[in-house]
């Protein structure tokens, strides 16, 4: 019979929470930037701005697809 030792995961939990707080801070910054229309003015929007925003959306889509098992990460 094999006995299992209780593992101390406090270091893993600390690392997890540190990273979670970093993600939360990044999301807050992105939300604030989005509420300011990514620092653009409607009269000054150009195709470069569209490309930049599409790039941001693509990167976020990779994250959300992975987190929610959508897209290429779907089972």
Residue 24 gets which letter from DSSP? H
pTM for this predicted structure: 0.79
**pLDDT: is 67 or 3 the higher one?**
67
What is the DSSP annotation of 51-71? HHHHHHHHHHHHHHHHHHT-G
Q: pLDDT tens across 9-51, in order?
A: 999 999 999 999 999 999 999 999 999 999 999 999 999 999 9
Residue 74 gets which letter from DSSP? -
Are the beta carbons of 73 and 65 closer than 8 angstroms?
Answer: yes
Taking the CA atoms of 38, 40, 43 and 44 in sequence, report the sign of the dihedral they define: negative
**Does the structure show a pLDDT above 70 at 1?**
no
């Amino acid at each position: 019979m094999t006995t299992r030792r209780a593992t101390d995961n406090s270091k893993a939990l600390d690392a997890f929470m540190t990273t979670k707080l970093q993600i939360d801070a990044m999301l807050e910054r992105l939300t604030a930037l989005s509420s300011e229309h990514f620092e653009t003015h409607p009269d000054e929007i150009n195709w470069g701005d569209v490309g930049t925003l599409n790039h941001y959306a693509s990167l976020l889509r990779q994250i959300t697809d992975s987190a929610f098992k959508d897209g290429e990460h779907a089972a």
